[in-house]
Structure 1
């Protein structure tokens, strides 16, 4: 079995911090997300982008790490952009009724990526065609 460790890489361009996450996000790797985000927030960037395109798997512990990171970023008054949410994480978000919790629509500013391009939504619509509503308990976390 070839095990690839979970990694994070930080790229700063034009004052925007991009945290690139790669690997399986679970109980053993969630702390990496928190450490990377905390280190970035010390620099007081105007915007932080979580790039999840390289996340191949995310369990509930990994989701918890992402939600804690989201709360920390928003509490610091930093704009948050989330990109690259894959189908497995999108399904997990849908299952718990938090389809839009990691979408650009939950940032403090207009939805655009760190590169200035429109950001995609993190999750597909629910099977019944609706989206999570503002009444979702997760909206009150940040």
Structure 2
């Protein structure tokens, strides 16, 4: 299990879905790596498939983390794939509301798998 301050990003494949699970805080020091992981998940060999970003272990996200998700959303649309967000915490939900980005994502209330 990962601690709150952990900076890991787990990636798991479940059937036709890839689940990306960031842990800890997502800020400018980690956002580029997060973007790379998301884009790699979308460029997998099996297409089309879904990418689910499980946010339950993400304790904080700033605008740079949101920008990584927006870049992944654009890549998903361009490659006819689906990008979902799951189980966001209150801080992330507020970030989406403040920035107006909430309507750009499909958000599932519970974590996958």
Residue of structure 1 equivalent to 2:101: 98
1:120 and 2:109 aligned:
yes
Secondary structure at the counterpart of residue 5 of structure 2 = coil
RMSD in angstroms over aligned alpha carbons?
Answer: 2.2
For CA contacts below 8 A with separation 6 or more, give which structure has more relative contact order: 2
Aligned length: 106
Secondary structure at the counterpart of residue 29 of structure 1 = helix
- TM-score, length-normalised on structure 2? 0.80
- TM-score, length-normalised on structure 1? 0.66
> 1:69: Cα distance to partner?
1.5
Alignment equivalent of 1:74, drawn from 74, 77, 84: 77
Distance (Å, rounded) in 2 between the aligned partners of 1:48 and 1:69: 10
Gaps of 5+ in 2: none
Gaps of 5+ in 1: 105-118, 122-142
> 1:19: Cα distance to partner?
0.8
CA contact (8 A) 1:103 1:120 kept: no
> 1:23: Cα distance to partner?
1.3
Whichever of the two has the greater Rg, that structure is 1
